[in-house]
C-alpha cells in the first residue's frame, strides 16, 4: 500500500464517468469488509474503485437488495454508545479499568466525534489529532488517553480513505489498544451472534493494521500497537457493558493480504472501457427494464463472479447478477463450486444433455464423464425406490 | 456431497423446471401433527419475542403479543399462556412409557415425545436464547415469576441444545428438513429461506422454480429477525401502544390497546403457518426410512431423561459445559453424525449416489463367490472371496475395508485387488469374518459396498472423572445466573436509518 498518492486527474475523471449519477459512498471499514467478500468480481472491483454505493444503485427496481435496517436495531446501537459516553464516559472508564488492569478513572478521554465538521475536512483534522496523540505513546503519558472516534487515514487502492475506530486507548502498559463497541449481547461469556463477533474482530484488526502504519509515519515503533483488541458489548438482557479482550494477530495478517489485493484505482480506471457507466443503471427516472438491461451490459463488459453466500450478504448487485446468470443458464447460479466442476461446459442446458448421455466434445469430456454417471445412477435408483434393499441396494 | 451430482441436479432442474427429490425416503420422524412455533423479535433485541405463535400444525395458532416486549410485566404476561401450554404438552407426552430391553437391562422410556417444528434454524437459536433467559429468571421486587415460565425456559433450552444432534426429530427446523430431501437451484445460503425452498418445489403456475423462489425471497417475511419494513410498521404501532398505555401494565387496559400489534403479527404469521403446514404435509408423504424409528427412540430417551431431571427432580442445567462434558458431547455428536450419514446412504439408494461418485462406494454385479482358507494369527480359517464387476472404473487401495449395504452393521470386506475389466473394473474382495449365508451375496446380484458402517466399530472409554490439569479451565466455570438484570432499563428509542449519522455501524 502506498502513502497519499494524489489520484491521477484522468483516472478520477474516468471513475466519475463510470459512477455517473450512481450514489457515492466513501471507503470505510465495513465497505472494505464487504468488498473483501466479493473482491474477485471485476464489476465489484470497478464499483469499489469508483466509490459506488452498490446497495443503492438498483434502488426502486425489483432487484434492489433488502439491506435496510430495523429502527430498533439502530436505536439499540445508538443507546449503547450513548450509555458509554454518559456522565463523562463513566461506563467506558469502568469497563476499561476492569478489563485492562489500568486505572482509567483520570484518563483523558477525547471525543473526536464532536467539535469537528462532519465532512472530509473534519475527518482529516481528526486523523491528524489521532496521529499526534498516538505519537505521544513514546513519552509515556502519565495517565492513559482514550480517543473516542479515532480516525486513521490510509490509502486504499491508491485513494486516501478514512477509517473511524470506536476507541483507541493509548498508554496501557506502554501500548495502544483498539476498542470496538457492539450492541449485540454476550451471555455466559459467549456471543449471541458468532458471525457478528467475527466481523467485529476483523474491523478491530483493520484498525490495528492502519494504526501501525500511522505510527510508522510518525517514526514510532509500530509494535506499540497491541495485537490484542477489546470488544465492548452489553452483557445479558440489558445494555450494561462488559469488555472482552481478544488476540487478532492472525486476522491482522489476513487483512494485510486483503488490503494489498485491493485494485489500484488508476489501473482500474485505465482498464475500464469507456462505454462502462452506472449512470443509466442508477437513473431512477428510467424504466426498470432499461436500467436492468444497462446493468447487464455493464457486467457483460466487465465480467462478474457470483458466489451466493458472499454476494448475497455483501453486494447490492447480487440479485441482478443472479438473474442474469439464470437467463444465461450459467452454472454459477447455484454457486462457484458447481461452476468450477464444469470446466469447458458453458451452460446448464448443455450439462443436462450430457447428464442424459449426449456425446461430449473433447473439451467437455473431463467434466462430462462424472455428470453422465451421476445422471445414470440417479435414473437407476429413483425408479427403484421402495424395492427391497437386500439384493439391489 | 458430490459436485458432479449437484451439477446434474442443477442442470435437470433448470431444464425441466421442477425440483428433484434427493432422497427416496424420509429420514426424519414427523409427528402428526407436530407442535409448531413461529416467532418474531424486535430488531437487535435477541431476548425479546415481539410475538410467539404456537399450536398443533394441523390447526389454527395461538398468538402471544406483549405489545411492548421490553417491558418485563407485559412480556411475561403475554408469554405465560405459551409457557403453561408448552409445559403441559411436555408433561403429557412423557406420561406414557414403554419398556425397552437392552441386554439384561429393562428401561422405561416415554412412548412418545413432543415434537416441535419451526420454520428455520434461526428460530432454533432464538428459542435457545429465550430459554436461557426464562430458565434462570430472578425474583424482581420480591415477585417470583410464574413457575411455568422457568420450566418452559428449561424445556426450550433442552430442545435447542438437542437440535444439534444429527438426525434428531425433537425440534425440526423445516428449512433443513426440506433442503435435506430436495435438490433445488438454491445455494446452501439461500436454502435458509423456507419460502424460497417451497417455491422451488411447488412454483406458481407458469413460473420456473428460479423465478418463483426469487419472488418468494423478496416477498416472504418469516422471522424471527424482522426486516426493515416489518419493524417500521411495528415501530409505528408500538409508539401508539406506548403512548396510549402510559405506564400502565394492567391487562385490562393494555390488552385492547395491543390489538393493532396483534393484528400486525397475525397477518405476518398466517402465511408462515400455511407454509409450514404445506411443507410438513408434503414431506410426510414419503415413507420413513427404517432407521428413523431407532433415532426417534434415542430422542424419546433423551426427552424422558430431560423431563425426569427438570420436572420430577426440579433440576437445572449448566450454562457452560465443563471440559469433560464438552469432550463427551463432541464425541457423541461426531459419532451420531457418522452413523446418521451411514444410515441414510445404506437405506436410501439415492443418497448413495454421492458416495459412488466420490469413490467411497462401488456398485457392481457379483461375478463369483468362493471359499478359501487363510491363516489368521496361527489358525487356518474359512473366508469368502468375491469377484465384483463394476461397469465404472474403480480406484481403491488394497486392504481397504468396505461394508456391503445389506450387512452394513456386520463385518466388512477387504479389497484384495482391482483389475481392469472392459470399460470398468473387476474387484476382488475377501470377507473379514466367517462366511455365513447371510453374509454372502449370490452370483448375479447387483450390490453396493461402501466405507459406511452402521454398526459400532469400536468401544470408547469415558474420559476420567477428574481430568488432568491440562484440561481444567484456568478460571472456575461461571455459575448459572439470571441474566435479566437489564429488564429494569428503559427501552432504547428506535432510530430511523435516515436520522443516524452512520447507520451501517449498527448492522
Q: How confident is residue B490, by pLDDT bands cut at 50, 70 and 90?
A: confident
Is residue A2 assigned to a domain?
no
Find the CB nearest B492 among A79, A236, A334: A79
Q: How much is the pLDDT for A6?
A: 59
> Cβ contact (<8 Å) for B235 and A322?
no
| Residue reference for cell 502504519 | A213
Q: Are residues A46 and A86 in the same domain?
A: no
Count of CB pairs separated by less than 8 Å, A with B: 255
- Cα A236–Cα A238–Cα A242 angle in degrees, nearest 5: 60
Taking CB atoms and an 8 Å cutoff, what residues of chain B touch A69? 43, 228, 497, 503, 506-507
Percent share of chain B, pLDDT over 70: 99
Q: How confident is residue A385, by pLDDT bands cut at 50, 70 and 90?
A: very low
> Cβ contact (<8 Å) for B406 and A187?
no
Separation in Å, CA of A274 to nearest CA in chain B: 32
Quick check: B478 pLDDT over 80? Answer: no
Quick check: B111 pLDDT over 80? Answer: yes
CB burial string B378-390: b at 16+ within 10 A, e below:
eeeeebbbbbbbb
Q: How much is the pLDDT for A2?
A: 41
Q: How much is the pLDDT for B56?
A: 97
> Cβ contact (<8 Å) for A183 and B506?
yes
Given a contact cutoff of 8 angstroms between Cβ atoms, the answer to whether B268 and B93 are in contact is no
Quick check: A393 pLDDT over 70? Answer: no
> Cβ contact (<8 Å) for B486 and A240?
yes
Q: Which of A212, A232, A260 is the last residue of a domain?
A: A260
Strand pairing class (A190-191; B62-64):
unpaired
Which of A375-384, B305-314, B371-380, B430-439 is the least confident region?
A: A375-384
Q: How much is the pLDDT for B469?
A: 86
Percent share of chain A, pLDDT over 90: 63
Q: Which residue of chain B is at minimal alpha-carbon distance from A119?
A: B501
**C-alpha–C-alpha distance, residues B9 and A219, integer Å:** 59
Helix, coil or strand: residue B389: strand
Q: How much is the pLDDT for A7?
A: 61
**C-alpha–C-alpha distance, residues B251 and A118, integer Å:** 47
**C-alpha–C-alpha distance, residues B115 and B35, integer Å:** 6
Taking CB atoms and an 8 Å cutoff, what residues of chain B touch A190? 320
Q: Are residues A142 and A35 in the same domain?
A: no
Q: Which of A333, A349, A366 is the last residue of a domain?
A: A333
Peptide bond preceding B77: is omega within 30 degrees of 0, i.e. cis? Answer: no
Choose among A230, A216, A227: nearest CA to A135: A216
Per-residue cell: B9: 441436479
| Residue reference for cell 458431547 | B329
Q: Are residues A30 and A146 in the same domain?
A: no
Return the higher-pLDDT residue of B412 and A261: B412
**C-alpha–C-alpha distance, residues B84 and B78, integer Å:** 11
Q: Are residues A142 and A177 in the same domain?
A: yes
pLDDT one-digit tens code per residue, A220-237:
999 999 999 999 999 988
Average pLDDT over residues A69-92: 93
Q: Are residues A19 and A91 in the same domain?
A: no
| Residue reference for cell 490495528 | A208
Q: How much is the pLDDT for A383?
A: 63
Taking CB atoms and an 8 Å cutoff, what residues of chain B touch A365? none
Per-residue cell: A77: 446501537
**C-alpha–C-alpha distance, residues A251 and A201, integer Å:** 8
Q: Are residues A206 and A139 in the same domain?
A: yes
Cα–Cα distance list, B117 to A175, B122, B163, B186 (Å): 52, 12, 11, 22
Given a contact cutoff of 8 angstroms between Cβ atoms, the answer to whether B191 and B197 are in contact is yes
> Cβ contact (<8 Å) for B478 and A337?
no
Q: How confident is residue A8, by pLDDT bands cut at 50, 70 and 90?
A: confident
Question: What residues of chain B, 233 to 262, have a C-beta less than 8 Å from chain A?
Answer: 234-235
Cα–Cα distance list, B343 to A67, B26, B27, B338, B451 (Å): 41, 12, 9, 9, 12
The DSSP 8-state label assigned to residue B498 in this structure reads T
Q: How confident is residue A31, by pLDDT bands cut at 50, 70 and 90?
A: confident
pLDDT one-digit tens code per residue, B289-313:
999 999 999 999 999 999 999 999 9
**C-alpha–C-alpha distance, residues B438 and B390, integer Å:** 22
Q: Are residues A169 and A60 in the same domain?
A: no
Answer whether B6 touches A (CB < 8 Å). Answer: yes
| Residue reference for cell 457507466 | A277
Q: How much is the pLDDT for B240?
A: 96
Answer whether B328 touches A (CB < 8 Å). Answer: no
- Cα B318–Cα B321–Cα B322 angle in degrees, nearest 5: 115
> Cβ contact (<8 Å) for B4 and A371?
yes
Q: How much is the pLDDT for A389?
A: 34
> Cβ contact (<8 Å) for B24 and A62?
no
Average pLDDT over residues A323-335: 93
Q: Are residues A326 and A352 in the same domain?
A: no
Q: Which residue of chain A is at minimal alpha-carbon distance from B363?
A: A393
> Cβ contact (<8 Å) for B349 and A381?
yes
Domain of A198 in residue numbering reads as 71-260
Separation in Å, CA of B225 to nearest CA in chain A: 9
Q: How much is the pLDDT for A5?
A: 53
Per-residue cell: A106: 483520570
Q: Which residue of chain B is at minimal alpha-carbon distance from A79?
A: B492
Q: Are residues A194 and A318 in the same domain?
A: no
Q: Are residues A118 and A60 in the same domain?
A: no
Mean pLDDT over all residues of chain A? 89
Backbone angles phi, psi at B183, to 5 degrees: -95, 130
Q: How many CB atoms lie within 10 A of CB B496?
A: 13
Choose among A123, A154, A127: nearest CA to A1: A154
> Cβ contact (<8 Å) for A370 and B357?
yes
Mean pLDDT over all residues of chain B? 93
pLDDT one-digit tens code per residue, A271-299:
899 889 999 999 999 999 999 999 999 99
**C-alpha–C-alpha distance, residues A387 and B436, integer Å:** 24
Q: Are residues A204 and A110 in the same domain?
A: yes
Torsion on CA atoms B92, B94, B99, B105, rounded to nearest 10: -160
Find the CB nearest A374 among B45, B357, B488: B357
Torsion on CA atoms B19, B25, B31, B32, rounded to nearest 10: 70
| Residue reference for cell 424460497 | B196
Quick check: A384 pLDDT over 70? Answer: no
Taking CB atoms and an 8 Å cutoff, what residues of chain B touch A389? 346-347, 349, 405-406
Q: Which of A286, A317, A333 is the last residue of a domain?
A: A333
Most B CBs within 10 A among A72, A187, A233, hence the mutation to make, goes to A72
Taking CB atoms and an 8 Å cutoff, what residues of chain B touch A375? 8, 12
Quick check: B318 pLDDT over 80? Answer: yes
Given a contact cutoff of 8 angstroms between Cβ atoms, the answer to whether B199 and B304 are in contact is no
Most A CBs within 10 A among B23, B187, B195, hence the mutation to make, goes to B187
Backbone angles phi, psi at A381, to 5 degrees: -85, -30
Strand pairing class (B171-173; B116-118):
parallel
Quick check: B103 pLDDT over 90? Answer: no
Separation in Å, CA of A138 to nearest CA in chain B: 32
Average pLDDT over residues A260-281: 88
Most B CBs within 10 A among A74, A122, A197, hence the mutation to make, goes to A74
Find the CB nearest A66 among B21, B227, B501: B227
pLDDT one-digit tens code per residue, B154-204:
999 999 999 999 999 999 999 999 999 999 999 999 999 999 999 999 999
Quick check: B51 pLDDT over 90? Answer: yes
Q: How much is the pLDDT for A300?
A: 93
pLDDT one-digit tens code per residue, B247-292:
999 999 999 999 999 999 999 999 999 999 999 999 999 999 999 9
**C-alpha–C-alpha distance, residues B204 and B343, integer Å:** 35
Helix, coil or strand: residue B40: strand
Find the CB nearest B7 among A69, A185, A342: A342
Taking CB atoms and an 8 Å cutoff, what residues of chain B touch A184? 44, 46
Q: How much is the pLDDT for B261?
A: 97
Taking CB atoms and an 8 Å cutoff, what residues of chain A touch B357? 370, 373-374, 377
> Cβ contact (<8 Å) for A391 and B441?
yes
| SS3 of chain A | CCCCCCCCHHHHHHHHHHHCCCCECCCCHHHHHHHHHCCCCHHHHHHHHCCECHHHHCCCCCCCCCCCCCHHHHHHHHHHHHHHHHHHHHHHHHHHHHHHCCCCCCCEEEECCCCCCCCHHHHHHHHHHHHHHHHHHHHCCCCCEEEEEEEEEEEECCEEEEEEEEEEEEEECCEEEEEEECCCCEECCEECCHHHHHHHHHHHHHHHHHHHHHHHHCCCCHHHECCEEEEEEEECCCCCEEEEEEECHHHHHHHHHHHHCCCCHHHHHHHCCCCCCCHHHHCCCCCHHHHHHHHHHHHHHHCCCCCHHHHHHHCCCHHHHHHHHHHCCCHHHHCHHHHHCCCCCCCHHHHHHHHCCCCCCCCCHHHHHHHHHHHHHHHHHCCCCCCCHHHHC
Per-residue cell: B299: 430422542
Count of structural domains, chain A: 3
> Cβ contact (<8 Å) for A28 and B504?
yes
Q: Are residues A349 and A242 in the same domain?
A: no
**C-alpha–C-alpha distance, residues B269 and B199, integer Å:** 18
Helix, coil or strand: residue B409: coil
Separation in Å, CA of A66 to nearest CA in chain B: 8
Is residue A268 assigned to a domain?
no
Most A CBs within 10 A among B10, B189, B235, B319, hence the mutation to make, goes to B10
Delineate the domains of chain B, giving CATH numbers in brackets.
Answer: 3-319 (no CATH), 349-450 (2.40.30)
Beta bridge partners of A150: A165
Separation in Å, CA of A254 to nearest CA in chain B: 22
- Cα B65–Cα A233–Cα B317 angle in degrees, nearest 5: 65
Taking CB atoms and an 8 Å cutoff, what residues of chain B touch A188? 132, 319-320, 478, 480
**C-alpha–C-alpha distance, residues B272 and B222, integer Å:** 6
Q: How confident is residue A1, by pLDDT bands cut at 50, 70 and 90?
A: very low
Average pLDDT over residues A14-21: 88
pLDDT one-digit tens code per residue, B331-380:
999 999 999 999 999 999 999 999 999 999 999 999 999 999 998 888 89
Average pLDDT over residues B460-465: 87
Contacts of A381 (CB under 8 A, 6+ apart): B24, B349, B350, B352, B353
Amino acid at each position: 500500500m502506498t502513502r497519499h498518492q494524489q489520484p491521477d486527474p484522468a483516472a478520477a475523471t474516468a471513475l466519475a464517468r463510470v459512477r455517473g449519477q450512481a450514489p457515492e459512498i466513501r471507503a470505510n471499514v465495513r465497505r472494505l469488509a464487504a468488498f473483501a467478500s466479493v473482491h474477485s468480481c471485476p464489476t465489484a472491483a470497478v464499483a469499489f474503485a469508483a466509490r459506488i454505493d452498490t446497495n443503492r444503485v438498483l434502488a426502486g427496481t425489483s432487484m434492489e437488495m433488502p439491506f435496510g435496517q430495523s429502527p430498533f436495531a439502530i436505536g439499540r446501537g445508538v443507546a449503547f454508545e450513548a450509555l458509554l459516553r454518559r456522565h463523562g464516559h463513566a461506563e467506558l472508564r469502568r469497563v476499561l479499568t476492569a478489563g485492562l488492569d489500568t486505572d482509567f478513572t483520570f484518563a483523558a478521554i477525547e471525543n473526536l466525534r464532536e467539535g469537528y465538521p462532519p465532512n472530509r475536512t473534519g475527518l482529516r483534522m481528526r486523523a491528524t489529532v489521532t496521529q499526534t496523540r498516538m505519537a505521544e505513546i513514546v513519552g509515556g503519558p502519565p495517565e492513559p488517553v482514550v480517543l473516542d472516534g479515532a480516525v486513521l487515514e490510509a490509502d486504499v487502492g491508491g485513494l486516501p480513505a478514512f477509517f473511524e475506530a470506536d476507541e483507541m486507548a493509548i498508554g496501557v502498559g506502554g501500548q495502544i489498544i483498539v476498542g470496538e463497541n457492539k450492541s449485540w449481547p454476550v451471555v455466559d461469556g459467549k456471543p449471541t451472534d458468532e458471525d457478528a463477533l467475527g466481523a467485529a474482530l476483523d474491523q478491530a484488526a483493520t484498525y490495528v493494521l492502519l494504526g501501525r502504519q500511522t505510527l510508522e509515519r510518525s517514526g514510532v515503533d509500530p509494535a506499540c500497537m497491541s495485537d490484542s483488541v477489546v470488544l465492548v458489548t452489553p452483557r445479558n438482557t440489558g445494555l450494561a457493558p462488559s469488555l472482552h479482550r481478544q488476540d487478532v494477530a492472525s486476522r491482522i495478517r489476513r487483512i494485510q493480504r486483503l488490503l494489498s489485493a485491493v485494485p489500484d484505482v488508476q489501473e482500474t480506471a485505465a482498464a475500464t472501457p469507456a462505454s462502462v457507466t452506472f449512470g443509466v443503471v442508477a437513473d431512477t427516472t428510467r424504466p426498470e427494464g432499461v436500467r436492468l438491461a444497462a446493468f447487464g451490459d455493464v457486467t457483460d463488459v466487465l465480467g462478474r463472479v457470483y458466489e451466493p453466500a458472499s454476494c448475497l450478504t455483501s453486494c447490492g448487485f447480487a440479485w441482478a447478477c443472479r438473474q442474469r446468470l439464470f437467463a444465461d443458464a450459467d452454472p454459477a447460479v447455484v454457486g462457484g463450486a458447481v461452476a468450477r466442476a464444469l470446466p469447458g461446459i458453458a451452460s446448464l442446458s448443455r450439462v443436462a444433455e450430457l447428464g442424459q448421455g449426449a456425446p461430449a466434445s473433447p473439451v467437455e469430456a473431463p467434466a462430462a464423464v462424472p455428470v453422465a454417471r451421476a445422471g445414470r445412477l440417479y435414473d437407476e435408483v429413483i425408479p427403484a425406490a421402495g424395492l427391497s434393499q437386500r439384493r439391489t441396494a | 456431497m458430490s459436485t458432479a451430482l449437484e451439477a446434474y441436479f442443477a442442470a435437470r432442474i433448470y431444464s425441466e423446471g421442477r425440483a428433484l427429490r434427493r432422497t427416496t425416503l424420509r429420514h426424519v420422524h414427523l409427528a402428526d401433527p407436530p407442535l409448531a412455533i413461529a416467532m418474531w423479535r424486535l430488531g437487535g433485541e435477541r431476548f425479546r419475542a415481539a410475538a410467539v405463535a404456537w399450536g398443533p400444525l394441523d390447526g389454527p395458532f395461538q398468538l402471544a403479543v406483549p405489545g411492548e416486549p421490553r417491558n418485563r410485566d407485559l412480556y411475561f404476561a403475554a408469554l405465560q399462556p405459551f409457557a403453561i401450554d408448552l409445559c403441559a404438552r411436555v408433561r403429557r407426552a412423557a406420561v406414557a412409557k414403554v419398556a425397552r430391553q437392552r441386554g439384561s437391562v429393562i428401561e422405561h422410556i416415554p412412548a412418545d415425545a413432543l415434537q416441535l417444528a419451526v420454520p428455520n434454524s434461526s428460530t432454533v437459536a432464538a428459542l435457545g436464547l429465550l430459554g436461557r433467559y426464562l430458565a434462570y429468571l430472578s425474583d424482581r421486587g420480591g415477585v417470583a415469576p410464574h413457575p411455568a415460565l422457568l420450566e418452559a425456559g428449561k424445556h426450550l433450552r433442552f430442545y435447542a441444545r438437542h437440535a444439534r444432534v444429527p438426525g434428531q426429530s425433537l425440534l425440526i427446523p423445516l428449512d433443513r428438513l426440506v433442503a435435506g430431501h430436495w435438490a433445488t437451484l438454491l445455494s446452501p445460503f439461500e436454502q435458509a429461506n423456507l419460502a424460497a425452498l417451497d417455491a422451488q418445489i411447488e412454483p406458481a403456475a407458469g413460473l420456473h422454480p428460479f423465478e418463483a423462489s426469487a419472488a418468494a425471497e423478496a416477498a416472504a417475511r418469516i422471522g424471527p429477525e424482522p426486516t426493515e419494513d416489518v419493524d417500521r410498521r411495528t415501530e409505528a404501532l408500538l409508539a401508539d401502544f406506548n403512548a396510549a398505555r402510559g405506564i400502565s401494565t394492567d391487562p385490562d387496559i393494555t390488552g385492547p390497546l395491543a390489538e393493532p400489534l396483534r393484528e400486525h403479527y397475525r397477518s405476518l404469521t398466517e402465511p408462515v403457518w400455511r407454509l409450514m403446514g404445506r411443507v410438513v404435509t408434503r414431506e410426510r408423504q414419503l415413507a420413513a426410512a427404517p432407521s428413523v424409528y431407532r433415532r426417534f427412540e434415542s430422542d424419546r430417551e433423551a426427552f424422558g431423561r430431560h423431563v425426569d431431571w427438570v420436572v420430577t427432580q426440579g433440576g437445572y442445567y449448566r450454562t457452560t459445559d465443563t471440559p469433560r462434558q464438552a469432550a463427551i458431547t463432541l464425541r457423541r455428536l461426531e459419532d451420531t453424525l457418522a452413523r446418521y450419514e451411514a444410515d441414510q446412504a445404506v437405506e436410501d439408494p439415492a443418497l448413495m449416489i454421492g458416495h459412488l461418485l466420490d469413490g467411497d462406494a462401488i456398485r457392481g454385479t457379483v461375478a463369483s463367490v468362493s471359499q478359501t482358507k487363510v491363516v489368521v494369527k496361527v489358525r487356518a480359517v474359512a473366508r469368502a472371496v468375491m469377484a465384483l464387476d463394476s461397469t465404472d472404473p474403480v480406484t481403491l487401495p488394497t486392504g481397504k475395508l468396505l461394508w456391503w449395504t445389506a450387512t452394513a452393521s456386520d463385518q466388512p470386506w477387504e479389497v484384495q485387488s482391482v483389475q481392469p475389466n472392459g470399460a470398468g473394473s473387476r474387484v476382488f474382495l475377501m470377507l473379514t469374518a466367517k462366511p455365513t449365508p447371510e453374509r454372502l451375496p449370490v452370483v448375479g446380484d447387483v450390490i453396493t459396498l461402501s466405507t459406511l458402517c452402521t454398526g459400532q466399530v469400536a468401544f470408547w472409554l469415558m474420559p476420567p472423572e477428574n481430568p488432568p490439569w491440562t484440561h481444567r479451565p484456568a478460571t472456575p466455570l461461571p455459575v448459572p445466573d439470571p441474566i435479566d438484570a437489564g429488564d429494569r432499563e428503559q427501552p432504547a428509542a428506535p432510530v430511523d436509518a435516515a436520522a443516524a449519522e452512520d447507520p451501517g455501524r449498527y448492522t
